[in-house]
Structure formats: C-alpha cells, structure tokens
Amino acid sequence: MRDFSCFGDGAVSLAAAAAASAAAAGAGGGLDRSLQAATATVYKAALSSRKEILVRVMWTRTVAGAAPAAAGATGLAVAVDEASRSSPSSAAAATPRRSAVTLASSPQFLHKKRGTRSFVTEAGTVVAIYWDTTGAKYPAGSSPEPTRDYYLAVVADGELAVLLGGGEAARELARRFVAAPRRALLSRREQLRAPPSPAAELAHSTRCRFRDDGAEHEVAVVCRGEEWGARDGEVAVSIDGKKVVEARRMKWNFRGNRTVVLGDGAVVEVMWDVHDWWFGRGGGGAGAGAGAQFMVRARAEKEGRLWMADQPPARGGFFLHVQCYRR
C-alpha cells in the first residue's frame, strides 16, 4: 500500500464541496440531530432502454428516548430519479461530459415492515418497490441498516434496478424480473452520534467496495482526545487494518487529505475535517451540528492525477462520507 501526502486548504475545500454534493445526492443535505444514525446509499442503473436512473436507499434509527413510541425505531425510504447528462459550457468546452448525480424526487417513506408500492417518476419511469423487514437482523450498536433476513427490491420499467438482502422471496424477485444491464454503487453516506463519553472518543468502521469488480474493504475512522475542545488528540483512518492517516497536534492538523494505493490497485483519496469536533462549542452551536467528517473517494480509472487546488475532481468512482456529531 503506497500513499502520497498532499495537505492543502485548496484541496480540502474541494473535498468539502464534493462531500456537500454527495450529501445532497445521498441523504438530502445536512445532519439530522433527531436521528441516532442514518445511512444513505446511491445506486445507478442503466436500463435496456438506455435510460439511466438513480436509486437512493435511506435507513434511519431515531434517538432512543426521543419519543416513547419511536425510541430507537428504524425507518426506510427510497427515492428514484433519472440521471441526466450535463453539456459542457462554451467556457469549458474541453471539459469532458459527466453524469450528473442528482436526486430531486421526493423519497417514498416505507412505514410498514412489509409491502409493495408503485409510482411513476416525473420523467415517466414506472417504479415498483418490494420490501420485507419483518424479521430483519441488525448489527450490534445503533446502525439502522439490517445485515440479513430482509429484502428490498426496486424495479424500474420492469427491470430489476436494485436488489438488497436475501432469502427465498428475494430470489423469487430475481427470477421474476430481468436484471438491468448495468448497475453500480455510486456513494454511501453514514451519519452517527458520538457515544456519551468524557474522553470524547469516536471509533467507527464500515465496509464498502471502491470498484464494482474489486474486493470489499473495511474502513475505520478514529477521533479521540482527552476532552471536548482539547487542542491535542488524534485522528486516524485505516483501510483493511492498515493505518493510512494518522494526524496528531489537532490544533494544526484538523483537516487534510491523502491519496493511497490499495493492494488490489484501487486508488483512493482520504480526506478529513474535524475542526468543529475539536473547536466547536457544545449545545446548539454550529460546531455541535457539524462534528467530524471523513471522506474516502475512489479515483476513476481514467483519472490521471491527484486533486489539485485549482482543478476540481472529475466525477466517477465510489464516494464514502462518514459524518459524526456530538451529543
């Protein structure tokens, strides 16, 4: 595993802008403090009609004790929209055309544990959603996304665009509908609340694939210090157990970025911004809302260079965004 350091406010500003864009596409904007945890994953499917659609799947868990009837309750919502192609402007004629990752449609909130729902998007795509989380099993902790004994299927114009989970019902849906010719995972956003600890420590891990045909990787993030607002501490990011970022003296290193080459050849850019985690005030201040942010972006195969301060990154490659706020 090789890494290249490139610390610079310009590059981090671009990373923050990319994160904001991914957050808008993946989870509808900023943090929701009424939630204990949330994940939003964006998939792209190309149908046989050559139409491209974006599917956003959102799992949420409410704050325990927020309301007696909903303490720790899980939620599921799905949004479907068409992926558009943006044409280069005359001022940037040399810029390659890019797929716009935007989701404008309102999410379908699936309040029941099991059911089906059909609707038509503004562009005329006929969508059917099939789901069953009655016996879903969830991982330890507050993660709202089940790991087994559930299924979620999104069918667009009669083609299976997304199929999550497993079991006989999921296999039956896979037999019933022809799979869309091409499907890809674009981005994933995870929101979590820091555990109540005077040590102000955050430790979180997740798994993802940076390439459709690549291996699954474990990404772990750590942010710790002696107390909230301390000027010293540590930020670390590990991929598959190997530490790729280790930043101390947080008074100076509260944000930065690094490019890493993984063992399977995938090139990923790791970015962090924990300014508000360390320097924000508690309560309802702006710092309490923003918290710590970690971004891991897979560079597309045709991208030939690192993010530069004066050159925004080209679209393409999986994007992971982990965001944590203080209680």
Q: Mind listing the pLDDT tens digit for each residue in 69-78?
A: 455 678 999 9
Q: Span 143-167, mean pLDDT? A: 94
Q: Is the pLDDT of residue 91 over 70?
A: no
Tens digits of per-residue pLDDT, 255-305? 899 998 888 778 899 999 988 877 765 444 443 445 789 999 998 765 554
Q: Span 149-163, mean pLDDT? A: 96
What's residue 17's pLDDT? 39
Tens digits of per-residue pLDDT, 100-114? 344 556 889 999 999
What's residue 172's pLDDT? 96
| pTM attached to this predicted model | 0.78
What's residue 85's pLDDT? 45
Picking from 23-37, 157-171, 192-206, 226-240, which range would have the lowest pLDDT averaged per residue?
Answer: 23-37
**Residues of the domain holding 303:** 2-325
Q: How many domains does the chain have?
A: 1
Say which residue, 212 or 229, is predicted with more confidence: 212
Cα angle 72-292-237, degrees, rounded to a multiple of 5:
105
How many percent of the chain have pLDDT more than 70?
A: 68
Say which residue, 84 or 304, is predicted with more confidence: 84
Sorting pLDDT into bands at 50, 70 and 90, what band is 89?
very low
Q: Is the pLDDT of residue 118 over 80?
A: yes
What's residue 243's pLDDT? 92
What's residue 72's pLDDT? 66
